[in-house]
Amino acid sequence: MTQTMKAFVLHEGRGRFEERPLPKAGPTDVIVRATAVSACSAELACLSGEFPAAEGTVLGHEGVGVVHEVGSLVTEFEVGQRVTTASTTPCGICANCQRGFSGHCRQAVWGGYTFGVSRDGTFAEYFTVPQAGYNVVSIPDKVSDAAALCITDTIASGSTGVEAAQPPLGSVIVVFGQGHIGLGATATARAVGAALVITVKSRPGGEHIAKALGADFSFNLADHDVQAEIRDLTGGLGADVVIEATGARASFPMAVEATREGGVLAVLSAYDGPADAALEIPLAHWGWGIGDKTILSTFQRCGSERMGRLLRLVETGRIDPTPLLTRTYGFGDLPRALADLKARPTGHIKPLITFEPASFQDEFETTQGVEL
């Protein structure tokens, strides 16, 4: 008899629970029994059609768990081992992957994303990680499932901008945007040697989360003259490194202005807009072309080697990402978790969704097919 599992599947713009056969490992796959998953705006984009997710795909791209089965060519892992993977699961062998930009894997439909887009994702009791030698990483004993879950996307993505900017020791780093990616950058800024971490968001609220993750100052555009505050804190110079993680084009000129001469602006945003829309660089804040400001566009760098380094930051206590997980749900409550994520109440960043046996009870039937 075929064993089945519960999975949360994209169906005509809705997510619904279905019974699916347990996946079988291909030669280079690892099958993971999920112990915790999380979600972010990527799931909402799959449900709205903004991401080109295939009908009938199991949703979800962030997950941790225990190895259930290893493919015949996988030698690095064994059944029972605690593991995770970055939310992007690229091939590891195409030209862009070999160049170190696996977020632009040529084998993936959208960036390096395959989970929940072109292959079944993590919102199931078991999920398949492809190219396990490249993508799967073991979780150190000292690192909780919750902390490892924060690494899969939020820290992996947020840290990419920080790492790519290569801030000098003692830098001032300003992070525009305090959604989960901006918070991921905030959490890793001090780990790369920043002396001062300043966060900027549009409205007040949630400052305690930014500060718990390492921000020294949290400003918002509604209550503060943000550029004046940054000038005051930097002796009039501006920030050594600015991370732009708002996703709003209007924020880009502000980020250019906040960057000092000789500084680096690393963009972590995927901007909305028509194909011919442009980002604005005010001449005065670009030194009329000779300001020696560097602008980088970055996207999540992944792979087991990098994920191992990020997990080590947690293992050794350099970062604690768990303040990102602001609400807890059982797997059967996944539709409510996604609805809460879409509503974005102040102070709610990410859900921790667990697979405790008791949590998967009545909610499964009563929440089935919630529209998002």
By CB under 5 A, name the binding residues for Zn ion.
40, 42, 90-91, 94, 97, 105, 107, 153
**Spatial CB neighbours of 322, under 8 Å, sequence gap ≥ 6:** 144, 146, 147, 150
Summary count for the chain: helices (H), strands (E) = 12, 15
Smallest distance, Zn ion to C-beta of residue 325, A: 13
When the beta carbons of 94 and 295 are compared against Zn ion, the nearer one is 94
When the beta carbons of 159 and 171 are compared against Zn ion, the nearer one is 159
When the beta carbons of 86 and 175 are compared against Zn ion, the nearer one is 86
Smallest distance, Zn ion to C-beta of residue 51, A: 11
When the beta carbons of 94 and 296 are compared against Zn ion, the nearer one is 94
- DSSP E strands, 159-267: 172-176, 196-201, 217-220, 239-244, 259-267
When the beta carbons of 40 and 226 are compared against Zn ion, the nearer one is 40
With residues binned 3-state (H G I as helix, E B as strand, rest as coil), the percentages for the chain, rounded to 5, are: 30, 25, 45
When the beta carbons of 153 and 163 are compared against Zn ion, the nearer one is 153
- DSSP E strands, 53-176: 62-70, 82-85, 126-129, 136-138, 172-176
Smallest distance, Zn ion to C-beta of residue 145, A: 16
Residue 71 in tokens: 């493919």
Distance (Å, whole) CA 225 – CA 197: 17
Q: Other C-beta atoms within 10 Å of 189: how many?
A: 33
When the beta carbons of 23 and 112 are compared against Zn ion, the nearer one is 112
| Closest C-alpha to 237, from 218, 255, 213, 262 | 262
Adjacent-strand bridge partners of 65? 34, 83
Question: What single letter denotes the amino acid at residue 152?
Answer: T
Smallest distance, Zn ion to C-beta of residue 107, A: 5
Smallest distance, Zn ion to C-beta of residue 96, A: 6
Smallest distance, Zn ion to C-beta of residue 122, A: 10
Smallest distance, Zn ion to C-beta of residue 205, A: 21
Distance (Å, whole) CA 256 – CA 220: 17
